[in-house]
Chain A
């Protein structure tokens, strides 16, 4: 190690990886991954969310986790976003493309995408 910059580089590269272990960040994105979810294609959605969040260096703000059956199997894949005290946002029939959009508009931009939510489907 010839300089502090070298150390800083390793630190930065690694921090993104170990941040997973700090537990839940302020925003938690949960993907329903029970059998129904997996059958409906939840796995690529989960992987897309993980990748997009990492790509945008959001790991210290956003935790992507999986959860069991949410109880609305016909709407799978379901993605729920929990943020502090705010009301949860439930996205249904999510695809990898929609997932990318959710990251960009909702998680980065702060604007939930109403048309993908369960509210839109029920109305």
Chain B
């Protein structure tokens, strides 16, 4: 009789940290100790605390182990599983030093206690490759309910009333989108799940697919019933092999259990889903490009209207929804629109998943009610900025979004507020930067990305983003002028107004927002030819601190261009007009007298 479950994270982060081998060894140890019939290992999706991976949790005690290595497995098996003694050195640091009785449940740690898991509710809780575990968590109940108790219009009404807005970026009300598609009559309609997730640093959707794939399948079937579609596609990038595998396993099991296919629950409703792999172009996440790609053509956007709800895949009415949007839906059906609408703000209901990354202690996945402040996410849940550095800005919305400075950290996060301050919700990437980041260089990083990813179909985006990048390069290389800053701004506005798709329309956001909040840094680059963060190589100056220099002359002898002068035993100086920034002097000085600034 099984008395204990050991949940090992099988998310991408922990898998690359070796969680597969850890699981295999643990099973061997369990067998060796004769505990095979008492302890069960479950491989789950991401727990969220990826920075502490590989992680595992032992139930029923709920002991959470972090940074587990293969060498630790024997201790866990012999001490904890056999003898009931927590292996203290592996316990997640927030609970360090506590006795087994006192270890707080995972839900009580700072990282988890104010999170609210709706889209992620099963991630790190169930085995995503076992449909019965999903069913145990009320899985497919919502599909059963809509098919047996609700009309399609009632389903759409619930969606509208819940206030759910699309989590893929644009924040369009889901119920309204479904209504448009339902209103069309056609011999075939489609439900498409957007699992492209091309935003650098984002892994919300990947984690849902890896941890709870059936929630997405169930929601697609519900959507199919609501709009009158019998066929669904999931467009997922091939770079997500674990997610693709789990989706395929899940679809196979759902078919086997008759939860996909014909005459589901004996109601005459048919629905089936196929996976389509994308090659990983950012633009293919744009809905019209995505549909074009599924049709087998080159993934380029097209004009809207016509909107996909009227003329989408194969010219049929189609709804396209994001993975996280879908993951919310079964629970909205089961718990009701009012339950969902009770979370979040007037403008934005429910919760949102964010992928925390960059200069933050707890890089990982968090889900919070909308309306939570950035400060709370970064300092309380995220554990603040590492290495004693200072917070500088946070970028939301990836390359389409903008940066938010410290003065706006108390902004409650919702769609409206983020747009108002020049950032955007985007899909939920959240990249934190500290004072060692140069904001001009930061904007340049995103532009570099969009220049690469522009599909080239329209001129404002193809040429405009390239010109933007060139201007930014000019500034970071120390050749910029004040007029260049005005040119930047003007070009940004032009690109926003004239690009065909939202890739181009949003590409200038990182530039505009850094210009807005960190204009002084741009000015330091162009006027003083100085990079305040000390990042832009061309603007770095080598400097000898006179109070530290002993006058040993070693650097002067080493400098290949003779830029250093000074008398023996007196402080030396570097002639910055001659200096070629080779760094030879810094390496030579035994007294660390030379700095870059």
Chain A contact residues, CB within 8 Å of chain B: 1-4, 7, 10-11, 13-15, 17-18, 20-21, 23-24, 30-35, 37-38, 46-47, 50-51, 54, 63-69
Contacts and interface: CB of A to CB of B under 8 A. Distances in A.
Q: Which 5 A-B pairs have the closest CB atoms?
A: A66-B84, A14-B136, A1-B258, A33-B84, A68-B85
Nearest to B4: A20
Interface residues of B, number: 40
B254 to A, nearest CB: 9
Contacts of A65: 60-61, 84
B85 A34 contact: yes
Given A7-B144, A46-B3, A14 B133 contact: yes
Contacts of A46: 3
A67 B84 contact: yes
Interface in B1-52: 1-5, 7, 38
Contacts of A35: 83
A66 B266 CA distance: 46
B100 interface: yes
Interface of B: 1-5, 7, 38, 59-62, 82-86, 100-101, 105-107, 125-126, 132-133, 135-138, 140-141, 144, 148, 257-259, 263-266
16 contacts: A3-B266, A4-B148, A11-B141, A21-B59, A23-B105, A23-B107, A24-B105, A33-B84, A34-B83, A34-B85, A37-B83, A64-B3, A64-B60, A65-B84, A68-B86, A69-B85
A20 B2 CA distance: 10
Contact of A18 (B85, B126, B258): B126
A51 B60 contact: no
Contacts of B106: 23
A33 B60 contact: no
B100 A67 contact: yes
Contacts of B136: 10-11, 14-15, 17-18
Nearest to A33: B84
B266 to A, nearest CB: 5
Contacts of A32: 84
B59 A23 contact: yes
Nearest to A9: B135
Contacts of A13: 132
A24 B62 contact: yes
Given A10-B132, A23-B105, 20 more contacts: A1-B140, A1-B259, A4-B148, A7-B265, A11-B135, A17-B2, A18-B136, A21-B59, A21-B125, A23-B106, A23-B107, A30-B84, A32-B84, A47-B3, A47-B38, A50-B3, A64-B60, A67-B84, A68-B85, A69-B85
A113 to B, nearest CB: 22
Contact of A23 (B2, B62, B137): B62
Contacts of A47: 1, 3, 38
A1 B265 contact: yes
A68 B83 CA distance: 6
Contact of B82 (A31, A38, A54): A38
A2 B62 contact: no
B1 A51 contact: yes
Contacts of A38: 82-83
Nearest to B124: A21
**Most chain A CB within a 10 A radius of its CB, from B86, B135, B141:** B135
B84 A14 contact: no
B319 to A, nearest CB: 24
